């Protein structure tokens, strides 16, 4: 899996060569979304997405549609959040299927049929879905229709690419604003490059401490999922107070607010990777850092996200310097309408080639 990710990162590097030669500011949210679309397509679906090389890639177009902050999306999202399940189920039969639903149903069913007909096994996400289709008893009384199967693929794709791509573009934004942090990271990348003859493996990347601290601080300051949702399974009263949350209550856990609380993270708007040294981390309650959630329904793609982000950043920063430009929005403005935390006007940066031996 990691080697497939690494190939996508190599394609990103080639694409950057083309982009940087234009000497124009680059919109990094779109750039990173193209990269992570490529990674998820290659690793999870076994489909070459061409999202970097092809400006009109179908997958990238659908990816944009999923997260477009439109009225229709808002209404659908709120219905799922607030209407009783039974009403939602009923509505799903009445409301017409969107282009995204049709696209995912077609692509997933076609890919599964193609693999069945040609005896192809890749041990990826599509194979897991094929396995479930062959053995529906494994999912109890859930009716595994084509729509239900496509919905699993949709969640995986939707949850996987935009969260990671915004994390990458936010990291680049902070590195452009904090050149000394960028230089220090490049030093670590170059040391690793020399130590391992240019071969960045999963194991090597795991040992890169400074990169890890930057990754964590990026998700501290910009948690892609700004709040978590839960329903209480029992009534709970806080300490010696009378504040009570009754059983069955829907609650939102405000990750963004916790991770920007000055009592927990002093000077929360300062980007400081040193908040994530082992010693400092031990002084904080573990629930004060929740970018991937926690408990049995936490993010299943966390490790995938960590490595696609890190290998992508390594490939960019080894050969390119990122700098702010006239089009860079400073300070960062949160988009008021998106569900995933994003900057309102994109992240424009100069990406300048540096000569490495």
Q: Which residues are annotated as a binding site for heme?
A: 299
- d(Cα 55, Cα 34) in Å, to the nearest integer? 9
Nearest distance in Å: CB 114, ligand HEM:
22
Q: Any contact of residue 301 with ligand HEM (CB under 6 A)?
A: yes
Alpha carbon dihedral 237, 243, 245, 250, in 10-degree steps, equals: -140
Contacts of 202 (CB under 8 A, 6+ apart): 2, 307
> How far apart, in Å, are the Cα atoms of 93 and each of 65, 109, 147, 153, 239?
22, 20, 12, 20, 46
Nearest distance in Å: CB 339, ligand HEM:
11
Q: Any contact of residue 108 with ligand HEM (CB under 6 A)?
A: no
Q: Any contact of residue 12 with ligand HEM (CB under 6 A)?
A: no
Residues 67, 200, 304, 307: which binds ligand HEM (CB under 6 A)? 304
Residues 25, 63, 291, 312: which binds ligand HEM (CB under 6 A)? 291
Nearest alpha-carbon partner for 63 in 136, 159, 132: 159
From 1-9, 107-115, 161-169, 194-202, span contacting ligand HEM (CB under 6 A)? 161-169
From 14-22, 94-102, 128-136, 162-170, span contacting ligand HEM (CB under 6 A)? 162-170
Residues 49, 228, 314, 341: which binds ligand HEM (CB under 6 A)? 228
User: Would you say 261 or 294 has its CB closer to ligand HEM?
Assistant: 294
- d(Cα 327, Cα 348) in Å, to the nearest integer? 6
- d(Cα 162, Cα 45) in Å, to the nearest integer? 16
Nearest distance in Å: CB 17, ligand HEM:
26
Q: Any contact of residue 292 with ligand HEM (CB under 6 A)?
A: yes
Phi and psi at 340, nearest 5°, equal: -95, 140
Nearest distance in Å: CB 1, ligand HEM:
11
List b or e across 92-104, with b for residues whose CB sees 16 or more CB atoms inside 10 angstroms.
eeeeeeeebeebb
């Amino acid at each position: 899996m990691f080697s497939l990710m690494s190939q996508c990162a190599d394609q990103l590097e080639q694409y950057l060569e083309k982009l940087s030669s234009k000497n124009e500011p680059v919109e990094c949210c779109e750039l990173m979304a193209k990269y992570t679309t490529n990674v998820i397509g290659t690793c999870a679906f076994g489909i070459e997405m061409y999202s970097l090389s092809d400006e009109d890639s179908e997958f990238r177009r659908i990816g944009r549609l999923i997260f477009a902050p439109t009225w229709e999306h808002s209404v659908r999202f709120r219905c799922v959040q607030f209407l009783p399940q039974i009403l939602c189920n009923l509505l799903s039969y009445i409301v017409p299927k969107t282009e995204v639903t049709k696209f995912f149903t077609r692509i997933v069913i076609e890919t599964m049929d193609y693999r069945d007909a040609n005896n192809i096994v890749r041990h990826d996400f599509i194979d897991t879905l094929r396995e479930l289709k062959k053995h529906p008893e494994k999912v109890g009384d859930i009716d595994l229709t084509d729509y239900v199967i496509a919905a699993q693929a949709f969640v995986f794709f939707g949850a996987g690419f935009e969260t990671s791509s915004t994390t990458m573009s936010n990291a680049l934004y902070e590195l452009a604003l904090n050149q000394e942090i960028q230089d220090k990271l490049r030093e670590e990348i170059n040391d690793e490059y020399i130590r391992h003859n240019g071969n960045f493996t999963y194991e090597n990347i795991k040992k890169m401490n400074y990169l890890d601290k930057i990754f964590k601080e990026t998700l501290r300051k910009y948690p892609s999922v700004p709040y978590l949702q839960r329903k209480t399974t029992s009534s709970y009263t806080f300490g010696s107070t009378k504040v009570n949350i009754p059983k069955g209550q829907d609650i939102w856990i405000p990750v963004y607010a916790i991770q920007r609380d000055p009592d927990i993270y002093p000077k929360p708007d300062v980007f400081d990777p040193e908040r994530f040294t082992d010693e400092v981390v031990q002084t904080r309650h573990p629930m004060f850092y929740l970018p991937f959630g926690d408990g049995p329904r936490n993010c299943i793609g966390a490790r995938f996200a960590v490595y696609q982000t890190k290998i992508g950043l390594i490939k960019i920063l080894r050969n390119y310097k990122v700098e702010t430009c006239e089009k860079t929005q400073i300070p960062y403005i949160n988009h008021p309408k998106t569900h995933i935390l994003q900057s309102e006007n994109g992240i424009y940066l100069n990406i300048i080639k540096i000569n490495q031996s």
